[in-house]
Amino acid sequence: MDASAQEVEADWSDLRSPENYLGYDRTTNFEQPGGPAPDRPHRYTAPAGLRLNHWALSGDWTIGAEAIALNEPNGRIACQFHARDLHLVMGPATPGSRVIFRVRIDGEPASLAHGSDVDEKGTGTVREQRMYQLVRQPAPIADRRFEIEFLDAGVEAFAFTFG
């Protein structure tokens, strides 16, 4: 998390999305026709709609046992969630590199709902492996479609957490 960000307790009254790991060993609710293509590059297309707590990929990804890795620029992760905060544990596949990303909520830039690791335009940078706060939505909390697009290849993502 950004050093200037203050850690705030989860909003338990509005938390309806559980933590979810993204590697095939422990993931749940991966919504893709045919399921994952384990341990090999594969081009995915996310469905137009997702059910609550389901997630999907778009672009060329490799799904490993513990993480997913983007093989080409402009890959996306989509997730339908219900929580004030959405975090993603991720990092660059190559230490010392960086990956630029954009966050959208319900198809729009995350402006008023941006987390501490995202600017008002919905843009951020992955520089190290850690938990990134991508969404902090203002009240009222509702089911939302989160999408993160990575403009560069070379990101690994491990888990969603919510608060």
**Is residue 4 in a domain?**
no
For residue 7, name the pLDDT band (cuts at 50, 70, 90): low
Burial class (CB within 10 angstroms; exposed 0-12, middle 13-18, buried 19+) of 96: exposed
pLDDT of residue 10: 79
**Is residue 124 in a domain?**
yes
Total domain count for the chain?
Answer: 1
**Is residue 25 in a domain?**
yes
**Is residue 20 in a domain?**
yes
**Is residue 68 in a domain?**
yes
Domain range for 39 is 12-154
**Is residue 125 in a domain?**
yes
pLDDT tens digits, residue range 112-149?
A: 899 999 999 999 999 999 999 999 999 999 999 999 99
Tell the residue number behind the tokens 């609550």, with chain if given: 52
pLDDT of residue 2: 41
Residue 72: CATH number of its domain: 2.60.120.260
How many CA atoms, within 13 angstroms, populate the side-chain half-sphere of residue 61? 29
**Is residue 159 in a domain?**
no
Closest CA to 163 of 125, 116, 104, 119: 116
Whether 82 contacts 13, CB under 8 Å:
no
Q: Is pLDDT above 70 for 1?
A: no
Q: Is pLDDT above 80 for 6?
A: no
**Is residue 96 in a domain?**
yes
